[in-house]
Amino acid sequence: SLNSITPATSGSLALGIFCAGARGPQGRFDGFASAVGCKGAAADDDEALGDCDLIVEATTEVMDVKRAVFARLDAVAREDAILASNTSGLSITQMGRSTGRPERVLGLHFFNPASVMRLVEVIAGEDTSPEATQAAVDLVTRIGKTPVRVAECPGFLVNRVIVRALTEAYRRAAETGAD
């Protein structure tokens, strides 16, 4: 279970990565699995995900696609599995409400490259249970990353800060005539 994972035993976590895209699922999974130190299999085969404790969705940043994926994952995942999205800013609540288990849906935003970047945003949607959120925070800590709990809001935390910083930099550059 998620609560028994430690850096030394993280290989016991049944981790599923559901991803699709131009680069294909295997390349994305290899980097992610390496970053989190877990064993598992990238899956676009629904049956392969049935025994996972945690499934992280990593599809294109289009809400209709994500909702369809979460509805599909809900149908094949164990009842106690946590479903997570690696989204950088879309609504976790909307994704969760496309399932029958919105209390077990959350965001796990790993920054690129995941093998190097330590920060992971743990995003609870409006319906995410405190227990699921804490399990995710504990997992992120146990795999040697730094979890940051984030309330669902546009851009979450890091993207909101980056946008404001860049806006200020561009404003200042325009004021001073810098290139």
The string of pLDDT tens digits covering residues 90-129 is 999 999 999 999 999 999 988 777 778 788 999 999 999 9
Cut 0.75: pTM above it: no
Mean pLDDT of the chain: 74
* Burial category of 166 from C-beta neighbours within 10 Å (exposed 0-12, middle 13-18, buried 19 and up): exposed
Task: Single out the catalytic residue among 109, 125, 135, 156.
Answer: 109
Tokens of 79: 């009842």
Percent of the chain whose pLDDT exceeds 70: 65
Q: Quick check: is 109 catalytic?
A: yes
Give the model's pLDDT for residue 162: 67
Half-sphere exposure of 73 (CA within 13 A, CB side): 36
CA distance to 26, 60, 67, 127, 177, per residue, from 21 (Å): 10, 7, 16, 28, 41
The set of residues, in sequence order, having a beta carbon less than 8 Å from that of 97 and lying 6+ positions away, is 127
Q: Quick one: average pLDDT of 165-178?
A: 78
Tokens of 51: 């025994």
Percent of the chain whose pLDDT exceeds 90: 27
The answer to whether 37 touches 9, Cβ cutoff 8 Å, is: no
Measure the CA–CA gap between 84 and 87, rounded to whole angstroms: 9
Give the model's pLDDT for residue 23: 37
State phi, psi for 18 to the nearest 5 degrees: -105, 110
